[in-house]
Chain A
Amino acid sequence: MFFLLVGFCLVLLIRWQLAYPGEVVPFVGGLLGEANAPGGSLSPEFYNQLGAMHGTIMVFLGVVPLAFGAFGNYVVPLQIGAPDMAFPRLNATSYWLYFAGGIVMLASFFVPGGAANNGWTSYVPLSDYALQGQTWWLVGMLLLIFSSLLGAINFIATIIQLRAPGLTWFRLPFFVWSQFITAFLLLLAFPALQAAAVLQGMDRIAGTSFFLPSGLVVSGRPLEVAGGGNALLWQHLFWFLGHPEVYVLILPAMGIVAEVVTNNTRKPLWGYRLMVYSVFVLGFLSFVVWAHHMFLTGMGTAISAFFQATTMIISIPSVVILSSLILSLYGGSIRFSTPMLFALGFMPMFGIGGLTGLPLGLAATDIPLHDTNYVVGHFHYLVAPGTIFALFAGVYYWFPKITGRMMNDMLGRIHFVGSLICMNVIFMPMFVQGLAGVNRRLFDGGATYVHAQDTLHFNGPMAQAAFVLALFQLFFIVNVFWSVRSGRLANTNPWDATTLEWAATSTPPRAHGNFDAPVRVFRSAYEYSVPGNPSGYLPQNAPDQA
């Protein structure tokens, strides 16, 4: 979560620059150093660093570790009735690798030339010739990837091997399924980026030319390398990971939303089996869509058609899952707790994000939209009011299990309303700007382009909304820290939930495994409002009544 904050601060700097180009950044301008911000206003190189590192930090140091590493590690063993993860020491190794990767990434800001500034995608040949910070980025990525790989191994082994007796596959809570598929995505997709990072490292350090074509001229001088490389190779390898990576970002979120929704509607998930099959299909398909990020690279029409088709097909399981979540609301006795608010907010936001992806997935309509702010709006809708809302829901929902106390409701609701409004103000205009043709990653936000002039006025309100969004996060931060000490005490199952984690004591003891007694599971995950049962829910581990 700390890293989410860091990434967020980086983008605040970006927003300032876009809104008030050339002006001095208030308060912190003087702190940024002469190299980065002469006279206190951002330099273009520094702006690019902010862009690249904002993306890298948010995705690889923020969302993935929080959604997968943190929530997964904590909740999954509890939800399957296991005493711990299958490989505890591997788990610790995975964490420290993540920590090391984080240090490397942050340290890269302070090396000569600053951090990597080639986008989180580090396209070649530019990255091959970037300054030192890029090498730090590569090293940091290798550490982070290794951390995720070890984590993924742990998750898969744990879920396969350590389910409690009676917990068959189709009795698993959907959250566990989503983490399971996410782990496979990480396991099989990340190595491609490892390979790519090694190759780029060799290009930078050993002078190879894997990505450098013959005859390349840099700054007016032809390169003295062997040549014969292929710049697109980097893009293929990167996006082979990159696409499954974004499903890694969304699947745990869907899992969290499913848990919160079914709990707060007091009825089972609509279409549980369908959702499980969908998430399987989604996982598999996510490996064969990657080149929709490369429609403009001059691929042949046949290959483009292939990827366009697979991309359209992959929208189907996503829609099925979203629809199931929405249909789960029908006929439910909805309890508008704070986690539920975020889960409810997730659904339309994810819908917008997903729908705006359709023109991007079709090769022809992608041509004017590629690399514009439209894309930025699209993925931010999915990750920010999408995944991050789900993560907030998860925090509010599982906080009592972790700490034994409830978070403050009023602060939570304010946090929700404020975040929802601000996020929409920030990201909705991006679609308009993108449709007008404003490119992404522009230092001046499009000010020098004629076609952008009509949409420039959005930059100001977007920046202001970003700062207001930051203020609303304070409500959350204060809530977390205050509630740990002084929140309302909670019993072990404050939400009256059925899944196994609520059968463990709050703040599960670490010394003797998570549960007081061996767990046995008797029924499926979401037995709410079963006719004839007075309490309104049946926990998974309660034996059948006579």
Chain B
Amino acid sequence: MTHDTALKVKGYLAVFAALLALTMVTVGFSYLHLPPKVAVPIGIAIALAKASLVVMFFMHLKGERPMVMWPLALTVFLFVGLFVSILLSEADHLFGARFVDAFH
């Protein structure tokens, strides 16, 4: 292997604690019942943070050779983003903007 035992046990437990904390934050936020315009970005952002922790540390992405992993990871997120944004625009709203007749 090109890297040794990535993190020591303490490191993994620290990540675990962070994940638990973020879970509590996201549940707590949800009880506020903020309007979707605010709640959705916050919820997604927290989820992204948690996912990044898992991917970087548990899945050892942090230890991998950057040249190989970053393009792969980036491409995937790019595609999904593209996907979501085009579909949302098909539904005629993307955060309130209307794409129909944009050329008027």
Chain A complexes with chain B: yes
Q: Which residues of A contact B92 (CB under 8 A)?
A: 300
B38-80 toward A: CB 8 Å interface, digit per residue (1/0)?
A: 0000000000000000000000000000000000000110010
A484 to B29, CA, bound (A): 71
Q: Are B100 and A301 in contact (CB under 8 A)?
A: yes
Question: B83 at interface (Cβ–Cβ under 8 A)?
Answer: yes
Residues of A within 8 A of B75 (CB): 188
A240 touches B83 (CB 8 A): yes
Minimum CB distance partner of B102 in chain A: A302
Majority DSSP secondary structure for residues of A touching B:
helix
Given A287-B79, A288-B82, the answer on whether A300 and B87 have CB atoms closer than 8 Å is: no
Q: Is A236 touching B100 in the complex (CB atoms < 8 A)?
A: no
Whole-angstrom distance between the Cβ of B29 and the nearest chain A Cβ? 27
B26 in the interface (beta carbon within 8 A): no
Residues in B whose Cβ lies below 8 Å from that of A240: 83
CB distance from A496 to the nearest CB of B (A): 37
Interface residues in A262-314 (C-beta closer than 8 Å to B): 287-288, 291, 299-303, 305
- CB <8 Å contact, B100 and A300: yes
The 10 closest A-B pairs by CB, nearest first: A302-B102, A300-B100, A302-B99, A300-B99, A301-B103, A303-B99, A301-B101, A188-B79, A236-B87, A303-B89
- Complex: how many Å from CA A191 to CA B76? 13
Residue in B closest to A237 when the chains form the complex, CB atoms: B87
Is there contact, CB below 8 Å, between A299 and B82? no
- Is A100 close to B, CB under 8 A? no
Contact flags (1/0) for B79-104 with A, using CB distance below 8 Å?
10011001101111000000111110
Assembled-state Cα–Cα distance A303/B101 (Å):
9
Give 11 new A-B contacts, CB below 8 A, not counting A291-B86, A302-B103.
A188-B79, A232-B90, A236-B87, A299-B90, A300-B100, A300-B102, A301-B100, A301-B103, A302-B102, A303-B90, A303-B99
Q: Residue of A at shortest CB range from B76? A: A188
Q: Give A439 to B38 CA distance when docked, in angstroms.
A: 48
A136 to B89, CA, bound (A): 33
Q: State the CA gap A230–B102 with chains docked (Å).
A: 23
In contact, A301 and B79 (Cβ under 8 angstroms) = no
B30 to chain A, nearest CB (A): 24
Contact residue range for chain A?
10 to 19
What's the Cα separation between A267 and B92 when bound, in Å? 54
CB-CB < 8 A to A192: which residues of B?
A: 83
Residue positions of A touching B, CB distance < 8 A = 188, 192, 230, 232-233, 236, 240, 287-288, 291, 299-303, 305
Residues of B within 8 A of A291 (CB): 86
Residues of B near A299 (CB, < 8 A) are 90
* Selected contact of A301 from candidates B76, B87, B102, CB within 8 Å: B102
With both beta carbons as reference points, the residue of chain B lying nearest to A192 in the complex is identified as B83
A185, chain B: closest CB distance, angstroms: 12
Task: List the A side residues contacting B99 at CB < 8 Å.
Answer: 300, 302-303
A302 to B90: give the CA distance in the assembly, Å: 11
**How far does the alpha carbon of A302 sit from the alpha carbon of B86 in the complex, in Å?**
12
Distance to closest chain A CB from B102 (angstroms): 4
Query: Could you name 12 residue pairs across A and B whose Cβ atoms are closer than 8 Å?
Result: A188-B79, A192-B83, A240-B83, A287-B79, A287-B82, A288-B82, A300-B99, A300-B100, A300-B101, A302-B102, A302-B103, A303-B99
Residues of A within 8 A of B100 (CB): 300-302
Q: Smallest CB–CB gap between A288 and chain B, Å?
A: 7
A476 CB to closest chain B CB (Å) equals 40
Q: Which residues on the A side are within 8 Å of B101 (C-beta)?
A: 300-302
Q: Kindly state the separation between the CA atoms of A23 and B103 in the bound complex, as whole angstroms.
A: 53
In the bound complex, CA of A535 to CA of B100 (Å): 64
A188 partner residues in chain B, CB cutoff 8 A: 75-76, 79
Alpha-carbon distance A303/B92, docked complex (angstroms): 10
**Which B residues are in CB contact (< 8 Å) with A287?**
79, 82
Please give, as numbers and ranges, the residues of chain B lying within 8 Å of A303 by CB-CB distance.
86, 89-90, 99
Instruction: Report how far A300 CA is from B75 CA in the complex, Å.
Output: 28
Closest residue of A by beta carbon distance from B103: A301
Least Cβ–Cβ distance between B71 and chain A, in angstroms: 11
Cα A230 to Cα B91 in complex, Å, equals: 9
A324 to chain B, nearest CB (A): 26
Bound-complex Cα distance A128 to B52 (A): 38
Q: Which residues of A contact B91 (CB under 8 A)?
A: 230
Q: A232-B90, A236-B87, A299-B90 are in contact. Are A305 and B82 (CB under 8 A)?
A: no
Q: Which of A230, A232, A300, A301 has the most CB of B within 10 A?
A: A300
The minimal Cβ–Cβ distance linking A143 to chain B, given in whole angstroms, is: 24
A543 to chain B, nearest CB (A): 30
Q: Is the CB of B90 within 8 A of A236?
A: yes
CB nearest to A235 among chain B residues: B90
